[in-house]
Structure 1
């Protein structure tokens, strides 16, 4: 089940240049940020995920995307939520288009085979806003400050990008 976690909740409309933002956030020169991004692109390609050929240019606020994911989980099921998450990842990382633009979010909804008119109503309202904020606060209080973060049996946390073997071991170790 997907839970909301915004990496950039204070991001202004229109976003920011990805290299400048990451340089400022992590205190690395832009040249190092570009090297790090290239490593991410290579690792993603190894598992079949395609980034935009030029990478993403900007970082955007993703709150509306999180509200839509919450909607999909509430009104449909985990499978619908996963389809939408994959469609939103495709929008953000592969197409590298603005997540501020409602139409791009609605295009992702359509790719996930969910009702676009209902999604548009969610975007145009504040529906699910408080629920998403409450969940984000709950996970923040649990000490989650980065993604990915996977919680097993609501008590064992694996944080950060890990090798598949780490998750396989956790499943074996924490299975009830």
Structure 2
């Protein structure tokens, strides 16, 4: 086991289905390297940075983004198949609104400060993709925060705290060339984009472990 944990920064958006798939695959990768100490930090990236604060009707969003239901159906059928292979039963038809995710990202920052970011992100994914909930709504986010044991989440969300941090991190991702997520960064040096296989992600952990070993 390394003396210093392997640091994995994950740029992600909780309404990105490939991010959910990537999360599940990363969990498997960690199981392949049980002796590695791994520290994950979730970083903000908005799939739709121009999304109105109130979000957008799901069908309007799909028509705008994919040019119609047929194209969207084909796109999401491929994701659904990939999800099933990782034990995710996506409920895309239950999603009524595509949300603005700034508040969800703010809550992620808040959860990180309490050491519960992983638990929060998993519940954001589940609420959106499995339960069809609008994770752009404050009351939904507050309920999730209570579930994972965050203290003071309602007061935090009702303030402006974290808003600029989310926008800064999102812009920084674009400045380094990111155009999509998930994206994994090992020890703030090695970049691995996409929802790669568990084996590939495990090899990423090997690189991080080797680097720490060489640095003593």
After the TM superposition, which of the residue ranges 63-72 and 89-98 deviates more from structure 2? Answer: 89-98
The structure that is strand-richer by fraction is 2
Runs of 4+ in 1 over 6 A off after TM superposition: none
Is the partner of 2:52 in helix, strand or coil?
coil
Q: TM-score, normalised by structure 2?
A: 0.71
Deviation at 1:65, TM superposition (A): 0.5
Residue in 2 that maps onto 1:107: 143
Gaps of 5+ in 1: none
2:181 matched residue in structure 1? 147
Counterpart contact for 2:90–2:129, Cα < 8 Å:
yes
SS of structure 2 residue aligned to 1:44: helix
Aligned residue in 1 for 2:155: 121
- Secondary structure of the 1:143 match is coil
Structure 2 residue ranges without an equivalent (≥5) = 1-40, 212-216
**Deviation larger for 52-61 or 32-41:** 52-61
Contact 1:14/1:98, CA 8 A, preserved across alignment? no
Do residues 59 (structure 1) and 98 (structure 2) align? yes
| 1-structure distance, mates of 2:206, 2:76 | 32
For 1:1-176, what aligned pairs fall within 5 Å after superposition?
Answer: 1-25=41-65, 27-52=66-91, 54-74=93-113, 76-77=114-115, 80-115=116-151, 118-175=152-209, 176=211
Q: Deviations over 1:72-99 (max 9, x none)?
A: 112x12xx01101111111111111222
SS in 2 for 1:3: strand
Compare relative contact order (CA 8 Å, sep 6+) and give the higher one, 1 or 2: 2
**1:84 aligned counterpart, secondary structure:** helix
